[in-house]
Structure 1
Amino acid sequence: MKPSIRPSGEDAAASSARLEIEKALAQYEAALNASDTMAVAKMFVADAVFMAPNNPSAIGLDAIWKAYDGIFQTITFDTELTVEEVVQTAPEWAFVRTSSKGFVTVKATEQRVPDANHELFIFQRDASNQWKIARYSFATTNPLPH
């Protein structure tokens, strides 16, 4: 994962939150690339929402588990996240904008295709003071096929 650049004027508390969130994103990236449904699910709060293109929202950990399990049965990832910005909006809330680039391999055909997205995460501190994903949505940045 490529971390963000420290914003000028960032205070110690904001810097600490940014680094903790970036660590959580690195764990998410590793779990995604390992096709590890359990590790991915641990990155979300209990009432999280996952909004993938062309799919209904997956609401709550059971639905998120099922969504990622289905994804991992279909494709594998080799992707790298780049953190574009981290903005803490309250002591327990922050939003994060990332981009990603890499490849996915379609298991049925073993075809490896380029994958690029931009992502929006909303993070929340959970009861144990850990930053977890509360909302997550993404869209492709690959050009449309002709």
Structure 2
Amino acid sequence: MFNNTHLNPTRLAVMKKLMNFAGKTADAASAQSGIEEALLNYETALNASDTHNVMAVFAPDGVFMAPNNPSAVGTDAIRAAYNGIFQAITFDTELTVEEVVQVAPHWAFVRTNSKGHVTVNAIKQRVPDANHELFIFQKGTDDAWKIARYSFATTNPLP
């Protein structure tokens, strides 16, 4: 898991797009904070091509649903998917949280947008990358929010 001292507080503040509710509970604020920290850890691991730390933010029975690929279900399949992705491309991207909705004490969904670039490693070509993402988070027995389901799609115009 990431050590909080490695997190850039300025980047975390920029990444957060907190929804302002009148009377927002401390539990809801804590959930949102924990989820946003997990997303920042995911973003950091993605940009570092770090499968180990990507796996640290996924639930053991998580599901990763990338476009044009079968769902990767469970730790081994998700690890293999990210190893393949990191062999093919290198990320330089930023996630922006658009909404966090806690639907139960241990469940929340999150909508994000990301933009930046990826480098196609085989040809060393850097290209724009932009997506919208949907995450479903589950709070584990250790009180940490983990990615239970994740799917995304490009928002770049078709060529």
TM-score, normalised with respect to structure 2: 0.89
Distance in 2 of aligned mates of 1:131 and 1:58: 20
Q: % of aligned pairs identical?
A: 68
Shift of 1:52: 0.1
* RMSD after superposition: 0.8
> Offset at 1:100?
0.1
Residue-by-residue CA offset, 1:12-33 (whole Å, 9 max, x unaligned): 2111110110001000000000
Whether 1:4 aligns to 2:17 is yes
Q: Which runs of 5+ in 2 are unaligned?
A: 1-10
| Superposed counterparts of 1:65-104, under 5 Å | 65-104=79-118
Supply the distance in 1 between the matched residues of 2:81 and 2:35 (Cα, whole angstroms): 23
Q: What secondary structure is seen at the aligned counterpart in 2 of 1:72?
A: helix
Structure 1, unmatched stretches of 5+, are none
Cα distance between partner residues in 1 of 2:17 and 2:30: 13
Normalization by structure 1: what TM-score? 0.97
Deviation per CA, 1:39-58: give whole Å up to 9, x if none: 00111111110000000000
Once residues 114 and 126 of structure 1 are traced to their aligned partners in structure 2, the CA distance between those partners, rounded to angstroms, is 35
Q: Aligned match of 1:138 in 152, 155, 159? A: 152
Pairwise CA distance, 1:126: 1.1
- Runs of 4+ that moved beyond 3 A: none
Structure 2 counterpart SS, 1:118: strand
